[in-house]
A and B are shown apart, each in its own frame.
Chain A
Amino acid sequence: MTAVATPPKPQQKPKQKKSLFSRLPIVHQLRQSVGLQRGMLVAGLIITALFILTAIFAPILAPFGYSQLRGDEGAFGAQQPPGGQHLLGTTVGGYDVLSRVIWGSQTAIFVIVVAVALSIVAGVLLGLVSGYFGGWLDRILVVICDAVYAFPSLLLAIVMSIVISGGKSDLVGGVFAAAISITVVFIPQYFRVIRAETVRIKAEAYVESARVLGASNSRIMFRHVLRNATRTLPLIFTLNASEAILTLAGLGFIGFGIEPTAAAEWGYDLNKALADVSSGIWWTALFPGLAIVLVVLGITLVGESLNDLADPRLRGRRAAGEESGEIAETSVVPGGTLEAGPGGLVGLEYQRNDIRDTAENDSTENRTEDRL
């Protein structure tokens, strides 16, 4: 075992010219981007950072508790217009809108983290096993995941939340019900991407050499394949994070939300605001809605930029030029060689096909292989 582990290490060393910092997923792309693309990425990062900070400091920022109905001067009163004590007014249930919007970020982030973490673990494991071993298990998993993937995600989330919580939710249970419902929707996405990468990497020479050297299946899977298959994960992560917020809000809107006494949830507030709108009360709907839009916008901007930067056709032209300068190693630009991925330029080509739309089906993948 140790004999297997040592040979690759000296080879890796010359590659590590770049500092660890500049190789971090987002930092790398930030340096790579130019002009408009950089603007979009930075804007996205700022919004996302604000969102995370709001969630962390919600207890300090929010003037009232999310389920607080009365202050020092008695009850807040329902549907109070913005101004005075309540900057953004109060809801039909008598809650302070601003406080609920701020507290809502905490719920959203909690659901994203739980949902995405669970689906990454499950999806990656399944994809790895399925792609590596192949056979009947692989076929069954692929068919199941395709079927689940084709299904409207909101409907699946509805069914799941009926199963988990019977449609009613309490404090932690409600948040987890929402998170698990979203998880089920996302597993197929991670599964597909990791499986496709695994199938490709499995055929690489270094995997075969590892096998010849007697490495165990689990070692090859987790050390040789998994580490090279995770390139696309940050991208799917950002895309899924925004989808998780939308799904959570959707669930909340149709009444599977988290009870207002348990946590603040934007979709639930919008549901309650539905009737207000007809009578011209705009503040109960506008602010939670804007919060959703802003957060999804921020995360999507990051995801889009990562996507474009990973795609040589879409990457800003100047950046592409810099990269090609690096290939020849004639430029004085520091940064070493082009890291196109395990398959060299072929890897990039694959990556483009994998990323352009993770939904691309197997037939198109096969076609690409044929062409190459």
Chain B
Amino acid sequence: MTTVATKPPAQAARPARRKRPKGGGLGRYILVRFLLIIPTIFILVSMVFWLMRTTGDPITAALGGRLSADQLAERIHAAGYDRPVIVQYFEYLGQVFTGNFGTTISTNRPVSEILTTYGAATAELAFYALIVAFMVGIPLGMLAAYLRDKATDATLRIFAILCYATPVFFSGLLFKLVFSVWFKVLPVSGRANTSSELQLQLLPDPTGIYTIDALRTGNPEVIGDVLAHAVLPALALGLLTAGVFLRLVRTNVIGTLGTDYVDAARSRGVNEFRLVSKHAYRPALIPIITVIGLQIALLLGGAVLTETTFEWKGLGFMLIEFIKARDFVAVQGIVALLAVIVAVSNFIVDIIAALIDPRVRY
């Protein structure tokens, strides 16, 4: 059964990729997948809206107790929260559609501005974390699969489970304790120290992604400082995902290592390293890529916790700040944006999987 299941990709994948251009398969598949994003986003945005609204109107939640009843009513009326909820719902949907997520109550800034400012920080963190996860998870996963059931495999599997079992905030705290407090080699928290932060802000139209901005200043001190700040958060968040990657690569490579074409390659004298990294690993990539797409959600959830641990001022950090301030307009905006990111990244992953494996676009 296993051989039947896994054989076709190796034989079919390469010719199919070249011959396929005319086929309606891929085009139609992409279109269908794309259209499927819309209900997903719609459902998530609606869900968040209705759930948040069951707690009452955002203004009472944020300012209740601090303003008199009359003032509250006035603010509620001005913001339109005294209209029927269903009207507000459709208005909100329309606004989201045009990229308008409302105005925060606590800081009175447009939510979309907050999303772009702090989104860059989260993207930067997620990028570094993914690099850590790939660099740790994939080679170790292949090694574990190759040395299956040996001591190395057992150690690596325990390591993978430990990566998953350790909450990011706990590993973050430990890293901080060891590297920042005891050995004092890396900064405790934040994205840059005050002087580099100042230099970065003086840049014309900053990207918000500190690594890029730091490179633009051309000042090696600033670059080093920004990178040093990113090490611990990226490590904490990256290791969480690395554990998942390791398990995933291991399982799938074990599957492909048992196939006939790997045996055939071995009998032709292909060296063992190439055997694992090319012959077994490449066909195993498809399920790996599909699941990596689903890890985006884990990564974003982890980012919220990592950012809080390291005071990394990204979307997750702000989300918690807004929750503390009971500013539910902002919370709703951030959560909706994250939902959109997850939906879109799942779409991209589906497309990549389809490009690699023609069987996907049935």
A222-242, CB < 8 A from B: 242
Asked if residues B161 and A304 are in contact (CB atoms below 8 Å), the reply is yes
Q: CA of A76 to CA of B2 in the docked complex: distance in angstroms? A: 62
Q: Is A50 on the interface with B (CB-CB < 8 A)?
A: no
Residue pairs across A and B with Cβ atoms less than 8 A apart, 23 shown, are A36-B154, A150-B343, A151-B342, A152-B300, A152-B342, A154-B304, A159-B52, A162-B323, A249-B167, A254-B308, A270-B167, A277-B177, A289-B174, A292-B165, A292-B167, A293-B165, A293-B166, A296-B165, A297-B165, A304-B157, A356-B251, A357-B287, A363-B360
Q: Tell me the total A-B contact number using a CB cutoff of 8 A.
A: 184
In the complex, the answer to whether A144 meets B291 with C-beta atoms within 8 Å is no
Q: Does B162 touch A at the CB level, under 8 Å?
A: yes
Instruction: Report if A274-B309 is in contact (Cβ < 8 Å); known contacts: A255-B323, A367-B362.
Output: yes
Binding-face segment, A18-26, A105-113, A278-286: A278-286
Name B's A-contacting residues (CB within 8 A). Answer: 1-2, 4-5, 8, 39-40, 43-44, 47-48, 51-52, 54-55, 61, 149, 153-154, 157, 161-162, 164-167, 169-170, 173-174, 176-177, 180-182, 188-189, 248, 251, 254-255, 258, 287, 290-291, 294, 297-298, 300-302, 304-305, 308-309, 319-320, 323-324, 326, 328, 331, 335, 338-339, 342-343, 346, 359-360, 362
| Residue pair A282, B177 in contact (C-beta under 8 Å) | yes
Q: How far is the CA of A316 from the CA of B149 in the complex (A)?
A: 8
Partner of A159, one of B48, B302, B359: B48
Whether A159 pairs with B290 at a CB distance below 8 angstroms is no
Q: How far is the CB of B9 from chain A (nearest CB, A)?
A: 11
Once A36-B149, A155-B335, A285-B173 are accepted as A-B contacts, the answer to whether A360 and B301 lie under 8 Å apart by CB is: no
Q: Cα distance A255–B153 when bound, in Å?
A: 38
Return the contact of B39 from the options A35, A143, A254 (Cβ within 8 A).
A143
B177 to chain A: which residues have CB within 8 Å?
A: 277, 280, 282, 285
Q: Contacts A143-B39, A155-B304 known; list 17 others, CB within 8 Å.
A: A36-B149, A40-B154, A153-B297, A162-B328, A250-B169, A250-B305, A270-B169, A274-B309, A278-B176, A280-B182, A293-B166, A296-B165, A304-B161, A349-B1, A359-B291, A361-B290, A363-B360
Q: With the chains together, A200 CA to B91 CA distance in Å? A: 43
In the complex, the answer to whether B51 meets A160 with C-beta atoms within 8 Å is yes
Pick from B47, B181, B294: contact of A359, CB under 8 Å: B294
* The 4 residue pairs across chains A and B that have the minimum distance between CB atoms: A152-B301, A289-B170, A296-B165, A154-B301
Q: Which residue of B lies closest to A361 (CB)?
A: B290
Given A253-B167, A254-B305, A364-B290, also A313-B258 (CB < 8 A)? yes
Known A143-B40, A154-B305, A313-B255: A148·B47 in contact at CB below 8 Å: yes
Contacts A144-B43, A162-B55, A300-B165; A277 near B176 (Cβ below 8 A): yes
CA distance A167 to B298 in the complex (A): 22
In the complex, the answer to whether A147 meets B52 with C-beta atoms within 8 Å is no
Give the residue of A147, A155, A279, A371 whose beta carbon is less than 8 angstroms from that of B4. Answer: A371
Residues of A within 8 A of B300 (CB): 152, 155
Kindly list chain B residues whose C-beta atoms are within 8 Å of the C-beta of A316. Answer: 149
Within the complex, the shortest CB–CB distance from B302 to chain A, in Å, comes to 8
Q: Is A163 an interface residue (CB 8 A)?
A: yes
- Closest chain-A Cβ to B293's Cβ sits at a distance in Å of 9
- Chain A 293-318 interface mask (CB, 8 Å, partner B; 1/0): 10011001100100000001110110
A270-B173 contact given A36-B154, A296-B165, A360-B290, CB 8 Å threshold: yes
- Contact partners of B287 in chain A: CB under 8 A: 356-357, 360, 364
Q: Is A366 an interface residue (CB 8 A)?
A: yes
- B4: which A residues are within 8 A, CB to CB? 371
Instruction: Give the complex CA separation of A277 and B176 in angstroms.
Output: 7
Q: Is A273 an interface residue (CB 8 A)?
A: yes
Q: List residues of chain B with CB within 8 A of the CB of A53.
A: none
Measured between alpha carbons, how far is A314 from B250 in the docked complex, in Å?
Answer: 10
A36 to B147, CA, bound (A): 13
